[in-house]
Amino acid sequence: MRLVLVGPPGAGKGTQAQFLSLHFAIPHISTGDIFRANLKDGTPLGIEAKGYMDRGELVPDSVTNEMVRDRLTKDDLANGFLLDGFPRNVAQAEVLRAILADKKTPLDAVLELAVDTAEIVLRLSGRRVCRNCGKVWHLEFEKPANPNICDICQGELYQRDDDKEEVITRRLEVYQEQTAPIIAFYRTEGLLITMSAVGSVSDITDRAISALSRVQ
């Protein structure tokens, strides 16, 4: 199974990626992990990326594309992979198609986790993180006894800047501008599977496995 997972911030891609990679016995590849590995190992691509990051600039697509190209050559991907966080735009989707065409290993499916804006804002804006132990709580779905104090260690709970409603709104705008167009791209390619990502984690996982099992 060669799979790409797409969806807006807060759709649960990271959570579902863990369960799906385990079920289908394929590695979960996130761009964050690829970046961290290249930076940690001091690869030429990692050094180049660090230069941009140290200057406060975005790492260009060309560097990200080459990191992904390199990762897709590794032996552990012989039986497939689950890509999470790449591609982020149509240009990257076209690069990925070319990389996989060279290897004669095309994608099997692109799974879109669909969640409406109101649900995303509820999910993200309700998160609170303990400054002491790092436990993540939610004011709606996993409430601490006191909204400002961690039940586990009594540490202070705070809201991350990127979980504030105005920031969430901007993140969703960026997603619509830059990433949502790949939905149409993959629909045209005949690879897109769209499913609701609302409900319990286990229900969403079961739904995803059922949808993907039909393309194997």
Give catalytic residues, as residue numbers. 13, 88, 127, 160, 171
d(CA 61, CA 73): 19
What are the C-alpha distances in Å from 172 to residues 62, 162, 167, 175?
A: 24, 11, 9, 5
Classified as helix, coil or strand, 157 is strand
Q: What are phi and psi of 149, to 5 degrees?
A: -130, 135
- Of 111, 82, 79, 109, nearest to 21 by C-alpha is 82
Spatial strand order in the sheet of 109-114:
28-30, 81-84, 2-6, 109-114, 192-196
Q: Can you read off the two tokens belonging to residue 101?
A: 């065409």
What is the C-alpha separation between 195 and 110, in angstroms, rounded? 11
